[in-house]
Amino acid sequence: MKIMRIKTIYCKPRTTVIDPAAYKYPYLLRGLDITRANQVWQIDISYVPMAGGFMYLVANIDVYSRFIVGWDISNSMQAGWVVETLKGAISRYGSPRIINSDQGTQFTSGEYIGYLKGLKTVQISMDGKGRATDNAHIERFFRTIKHDKIYLHMPENGQELFTLCNEFIEFYNTRRGHSSIEGLPPVQKYIRQAA
């Protein structure tokens, strides 16, 4: 069943819990022509099942090149964890012009919004309520890493999950061609534009 990607359908934990009192930023990507690296990043959190429980994966993708600029795993979905992951990506690759997320509590928290506003040059964009397709590139990445790596090698613990994610993201960024970017691996498209 794993090899054929056959699985049962069941309710899964929700990773997007909306705080009704938090301010929601407008969606800035509708009709936007994305022409360069670091113009738009998307960020999200995904639930990852393991043999003895589950963990969460946060990742940031550069939309132009499909390059994963930052990621981490955790057993809880704290805003501080999201901010630290984002800080690591920005310190390594510079800040994007726009960062798009969903309306989850981590992305509407004072810690996350305060950090982005402190960057001064970054615009905050959020998906519309119930519009997962607004963050399609990072959602597609989550589907790919789960179906092509994690579900085929169900990790026993967090260390094993980290190793699987690290292996796959290295492969995804440096060797896996993408039809949407002329069959190139993301790193080639990213470096060519970011340099």
Beta-bridged to residue 152, according to DSSP, are none
**Averaged pLDDT for residues 56-71:** 96
Structure confidence at residue 18 as a pLDDT band (50, 70, 90): low
pLDDT digits (tens, 9 = 90+) for 105-141: 899 999 999 999 999 899 999 987 666 667 889 999 9
Contact 39, 63 (CB under 8 A): yes
Structure tokens at 99: 């960062």
* Entry pTM: 0.84
